[in-house]
Structures are given as structure tokens and as C-alpha cells.
Amino acid sequence: MGFFDGKRGLIFGIANEYSIAYRITQQLHEQGAEMAFTHLPDKDPARPKNANKVKKLVDSMKTKFLMPCDVTKDADLDAVFAKAKEEFGTIDFVLHSIAFAPPADLVGPVYACSRDGFKLAMEISAYSMIALCGRSKDLMPSGGSILCLTYLGGEKVIPGYNLMGLCKSALESATEYCASELGPQGIRVNALSAGPVKTVSSQGVGEFDQMLKLYEAFSPMRRNVVPDEVGKSGMFLLSDMASAITGETLHVDCGYHVMGGPPHDAVGKLAPGAGA
């Protein structure tokens, strides 16, 4: 018996095998979940690169359907949830793993980001979560669980995270408000704040390799989190084992977020060439 036997859910945001969403999905599958997935729409339907990439990853799972979804389009979101209602009737969980900022606005200082870049980043990275919560409500009449992915840069300044930090801050606030509003219906809404994991998105963050060294030197456990640990934590938050947890941002980062300064044994570890 698995923790998700008989449970059904929607997964938004798997890009490739390095995606945190994929790691969580693997854990859900092992626990018996039946899932449906979305992918970024392909520019050329005759060459479905995005669809094929996700299909290859989830084909061996209990995949009910796979369909394109542009979260900036209400019609796409409506189509996914209509399909979910048709195939599942009701759902038990939703995973939101969606974030984007135009590279030109992400790499520079926050004060220099463009108006249009700011709006697009917030729409995709934060509003999309609100949109999923609103649509999930009708398909979770007996309660359920919604999870999004965030990062410490939404709480504190992380050099190089820049505009995405503002987006994650908005996402975490939306998590708390939606948790309050959906709680009476038995729907839990949480965020998982993982330490740095190498994904396609992380490569857009400035000085990412230096960030990995910081976590190894500063975290109480003196190491970085590994992807499977994040996957298991995400599965936990979506499961009934977390039935009394909502509005929470769970840090899965080997304790890095509790540190206000470097531990004594970190001195010298981050000097040029140290630990390289």
C-alpha cells in the first residue's frame, strides 16, 4: 500500500529530468498516485519537442493525460481543469513548479528591470499559483493539497537571484492567503523552499556555483540538499501525513536558512581557489 493509492492529481512544470517537479513526481508515482501532466506549448506542433520531452519522462507512470498549457492564457488553464474533471471527476493534489523572468530583466539589478519584464515575471511565477488554486477548489470538494516551489531569495536578499526574489516573495504570500481562504474546504496550500539544486532554471541565476559552495560551508549539516530529499519532502507535503500543515513554507536546505553568519569552521573555505 502506498500513501497515494487511489489519489489523483495534476502536475504543472516538469521541464526535464533535472526539474524538482520531476523528483517529486517520481516519489508520488512510487506511492501509487495517478497523475496528469502539462508541458510548455510547442511553437511548431509538427515538431513537439516539449511534449516529447515530458512524455518520455512520465510515460512509465500512471499518466492519465499530457497536454500543453501556457499559464498566461486562461483558456489553456480552463482546458486543463476541464480535462481533469472529465478524466478524474475530482482531484486530490496539485503541484505548481512554474517560474520565469525575461533573462534581460533577471540578470541585472532589480531597480533596472523593465515594467513589462516585471509584469510577465510576476504573472508566470506568482499569479499562476493563484489561478491554479482558484480552479482547483471546484475539483477538491472533499479537500486536497496544493504545493508550490520557492526559494530563500523570496525571504532574504540572495545576490544574483534579483527579480525572481520578488516573485518568490509574492508566491509565498499568495500561499498563505490561499491557505486561509481554502482551509475551510479542507484544502491545504504550502510552499517548499529547497536549497540550491542544479536545474535549467538555476543556471540562469548569477554565481550559482558559488552558491553551492556557500551551502556546503555555512549550512548546519555542512552539505547541500540532494534532489531526492527535495522529492520526498514534496511528496510528504502533498500527502495525508501533512494533514495539519498549511500556509507553511518548508525549508529543505540542510538548515542553511537558520544561519545569521558563517560557522567558525567556514573561515577560509570560500577564499579564491579554496575547495575547488
Q: Which residues are catalytically annotated?
A: 151, 161
Grid cell locating 246 = 498549511
Task: Give the CA distances from residue 149 to residues 99, 114, 214, 268, in Å, rounded to whole numbers and listed in that order.
Answer: 9, 25, 21, 33
Adjacent-strand bridge partners of 37: 11, 66
CA 75, CA 69: separation in Å to the nearest integer? 9
CA 170, CA 111: separation in Å to the nearest integer? 17
Task: Give the CA distances from residue 85 to residues 67, 89, 124, 135, 157, in Å, rounded to whole numbers and listed in that order.
Answer: 14, 4, 24, 11, 41
